[in-house]
Homo-oligomer: A and B are copies of this chain.
Amino acid sequence: MAKNITPRSKDYSQWYQDIVKEASLAEHSPVRGSMVIKPTGYALWENMRDALDKMFKDTGHENAYFPLFIPKSFLSKEANHVEGFAKECAVVTHSRLVSTEDGVDVDPDSKLEEELIVRPTSETIIWDTYRGWIQSYRDLPILVNQWANVVRWEMRTRLFLRTMEFLWQEGHTAHATEGEAVAETKQMLEVYRTFAEEFMAMPVITGVKTESERFAGAVETYCIEALMQDGKALQAGTSHFLGQNFAKAFDCTFQDRDGKLKHVWATSWGVSTRLIGGLIMTHSDDDGLIIPPRIAPWQVVIVPIYRKDDEREAVVAYAEELKNELKLAGIRVKVDARDQYKPGWKFAQHEAEGVPVRLAVGPRDVENQKAECVRRDTREKQLLERSAVVTSVSALLEIMQQELLSAARERMQANTHEADSYDAFKTILDEKGGFIYAHWDGTAETEARIKEETKATIRCIPLSGDKTPGNCMVTGKPSAQKVLFARAY
């Protein structure tokens, strides 16, 4: 067990913080609620971003960039939208500082005529822009995505999971028909599911949010929900069908093939640096981070081991040769030849940082043309023939990627329950946690009561699985299908 990491069994929340720190992913900044994403954390985010970006482009989307600042009046144009975001807005009111005896102060003469909101999300500024881009059905669809920072004034923050400023992507598409917009919403949900499972090795349940959990301004919110190791759920991505709400709020119409003027149909969809929190809590253990190879900043680290100065040169040269061979095969690999640290210390650090595969090579390995290979997740050790290093490591990375997903899937299944009564529901929640399928009568009242009494929320109405009708576990009223409950982050 790593010295600086609190075991999960002792204090799960502290374990999470320790992992973020020991893996050098991020740290708190002096501005309350903001974080600094450190180079290792950012390299992880770059790999996630690049994989998602490719999937967006492969489905016909282009990137663009819209302004950080939104005029205050824009927010209020869509009634639900402003209600959802008004209480957590960073507001810019002035444009200048003046020197004072103690330093600087805000120049009162620089007060803005209209205050600007630092974007919490960009629907309003984007739909105001789309009005100018769309005249005819020929201008549709617009399939645009933006990688950006957004700000939501959160009081209780946790690194990655909930921060005042975070990085994300937000797709905003415009369509001529409702059907196309709904299809786009579902397509992007599927992109998120695929990304979560195939890159992050994080299994998810796809579904629809209830009205009370819907995005402010959406007609329907689709989501992917993941289950963390402590039995709590994490909303990992959302895809919204916005209907014509924003088009109407921003007077965005088009002339259709039939010559009639119609309002445009919209979607928006996003995932954020929050995914990194989900990644940590899906795979990691008491020794540190575990990252699936496809998104790991470094996939392999080679540690040369030498006792005397006269051994160093040959061992490091051998390590460099292996590195070059692996690099040629497209593997992200580095040699850790720092003299000031002992091998054991390096091993612990690479484990904390979650490097999937560690190769250790000493003088005997040089002589025998071998390398010791250890995989991060299972600690399985094997002695590889030098000639087989590239093929073995390549295969191992692929196997790890698959097995991390299988293992996470098994954990999720083991922690997924069904409850046929409210009592059973509460017992499972308190004793086991996890996902619970249960019947619900479809009303906001019952949903609120359950949340109030148990702190569990409806994560989603699942798209697949058991669709048998039944009776609500609380009120006994008819229920169309079981829905997915959990306590959540």
A residues whose Cβ falls under 8 Å from a Cβ of B: 27, 29-31, 34-39, 41-43, 45-46, 62-76, 82-83, 86-99, 103-106, 110, 115-118, 125, 128-129, 132, 138, 144, 148-149, 151, 153, 165, 167, 340
Output the least CB separation between A365 and chain B (Å).
28
Asked if B29 and A42 sit within 8 Å, CB to CB, the answer is: no
Output the least CB separation between A152 and chain B (Å).
10
Q: List 12 A-B contacts (CB under 8 A).
A: A29-B67, A30-B74, A31-B67, A31-B71, A41-B64, A68-B118, A72-B97, A82-B99, A87-B96, A89-B94, A92-B93, A92-B118
Asked if A39 and B144 sit within 8 Å, CB to CB, the answer is: yes
Asked if B95 and A76 sit within 8 Å, CB to CB, the answer is: no
**Distance of A83 Cα from B104 Cα, bound (Å):** 10
- Residue of A36, A74, A76, A110 with highest tally of chain B CB at under 10 A: A36
- Which residues of the other chain, B, contact A92 by a CB distance below 8 angstroms? 90-93, 118
- Residue of A29, A35, A90 with highest tally of chain B CB at under 10 A: A90
The 10 A-B pairs with the shortest beta carbon distances in the complex, nearest first, are A76-B103, A34-B67, A39-B62, A37-B65, A86-B97, A91-B94, A95-B153, A93-B93, A29-B67, A76-B104
**What's the number of copies of this chain in the assembled complex?**
2
Asked if A86 and B62 sit within 8 Å, CB to CB, the answer is: no
Output the least CB separation between A32 and chain B (Å).
10
* CB-contact partner of A89 in B62, B69, B97, under 8 A: B97
Asked if A104 and B38 sit within 8 Å, CB to CB, the answer is: no
Asked if A96 and B89 sit within 8 Å, CB to CB, the answer is: yes
- Which residues of the other chain, B, contact A104 by a CB distance below 8 angstroms? 72, 75-76, 82, 86
Output the least CB separation between A411 and chain B (Å).
31
Output the least CB separation between A100 and chain B (Å).
9
- Which residues of the other chain, B, contact A132 by a CB distance below 8 angstroms? 27
**Distance of A89 Cα from B105 Cα, bound (Å):** 11
Output the least CB separation between A447 and chain B (Å).
25
Output the least CB separation between A434 and chain B (Å).
33
* CB-contact partner of A98 in B35, B86, B151, under 8 A: B86
**Distance of A36 Cα from B126 Cα, bound (Å):** 9
Closest to A116 in B: B31
Asked if B29 and A165 sit within 8 Å, CB to CB, the answer is: no
* CB-contact partner of A39 in B64, B73, B88, under 8 A: B64
Output the least CB separation between A17 and chain B (Å).
16
Asked if A64 and B37 sit within 8 Å, CB to CB, the answer is: yes
Known pairs A34-B67, A39-B62, A91-B93 / 9 extra A-B pairs, C-beta < 8 Å: A27-B129, A39-B64, A39-B144, A43-B63, A65-B167, A72-B97, A86-B96, A90-B116, A93-B93
Asked if A69 and B128 sit within 8 Å, CB to CB, the answer is: no
Asked if B118 and A71 sit within 8 Å, CB to CB, the answer is: no
**Contact A64 B38, CB 8 Å, known A95-B153, A340-B138:** yes
